[in-house]
Amino acid sequence: MNTVQVMLGDRSYPIRIRPGSLADLGETLVREFGAAHVVSITTPRVGEAHFETLARGLSSADLAHQRLDVPEGDRAKTLSHASRLYDSLIDLEADRDTVIVALGGGAVGDLAGFVASTYLRGVALVQVPTTLLAQVDSSVGGKTAVNHSRGKNLIGTFFQPRLVWIDPAVLSTLPASELRCGMAEIIKAGAIWDGEFFAWLEKNAKGVTALDPELLSEAIVRAVRIKAEVVGLDEREAGLRALLNFGHTLGHAIENVLGYREIHHGEAVAIGMMFAARLSERRELAPAGTAERLEGLLDCVGLPTELPDALGVTETREAYLRAMTVDKKVRGRQLGFVVLSEIGRAKVIKLTPEEVFEGADQ
Ligand X SMILES: NC(=O)c1ccc[n+]([C@@H]2O[C@H](COP(=O)([O-])OP(=O)(O)OC[C@H]3O[C@@H](n4cnc5c(N)ncnc54)[C@H](O)[C@@H]3O)[C@@H](O)[C@H]2O)c1
List, in order, residues 6 or more apart from 171 with CB less than 8 Å away.
130, 131, 132, 135, 179, 211, 216
- Residue 72 binds ligand X, judged by CB under 6 A: yes
Give the contact letters, 40-69, x = binds to ligand X (CB under 6 A), - = no: ---x-xx--x--------------------
DSSP state string for 313-340: HHHHHHHHHHHHHHSTT--SS-EEEEEE
Q: Could you confirm whether 237 is annotated as catalytic?
A: yes
- Residue 341 binds ligand X, judged by CB under 6 A: no
Q: Could you confirm whether 241 is annotated as catalytic?
A: yes
CA atoms within 13 A on the CB side of 157: 15
Pick from 70, 174, 242, 356: which binds ligand X (CB under 6 A)? 174
Nearer to ligand X, 86 or 159 (CB): 159
How many residues are there in the chain?
362
Q: Which of residues 237-266 bind ligand X (CB under 6 A)?
A: none
- Residue 130 binds ligand X, judged by CB under 6 A: yes
CB atoms within 10 A of CB 9: 7
Sign of the torsion angle spanned by Cα atoms 227, 229, 230, 234: positive
- Residue 138 binds ligand X, judged by CB under 6 A: yes
The footprint of ligand X on this chain (CB under 6 A) covers a number of residues equal to 30
CB atoms within 10 A of CB 153: 15
- Residue 123 binds ligand X, judged by CB under 6 A: no
DSSP-derived letter for residue 310 is S
Measured distance CA(250)–CA(330) in Å, rounded: 12
Pick from 141, 168, 272, 304: which binds ligand X (CB under 6 A)? 141
Nearer to ligand X, 222 or 278 (CB): 222
- Residue 74 binds ligand X, judged by CB under 6 A: yes
Measured distance CA(315)–CA(3) in Å, rounded: 48
CB atoms within 10 A of CB 202: 15
Nearer to ligand X, 156 or 353 (CB): 156
Nearer to ligand X, 74 or 229 (CB): 74
Q: Name the residues annotated as catalytic.
A: 121, 143, 185, 227, 237, 241, 245, 248, 252, 265
Interface residues toward ligand X, by CB under 6 A: 43, 45-46, 49, 72-74, 77, 104-108, 110, 130-131, 133-134, 137-138, 141, 143, 152-153, 170-171, 173-174, 178, 181
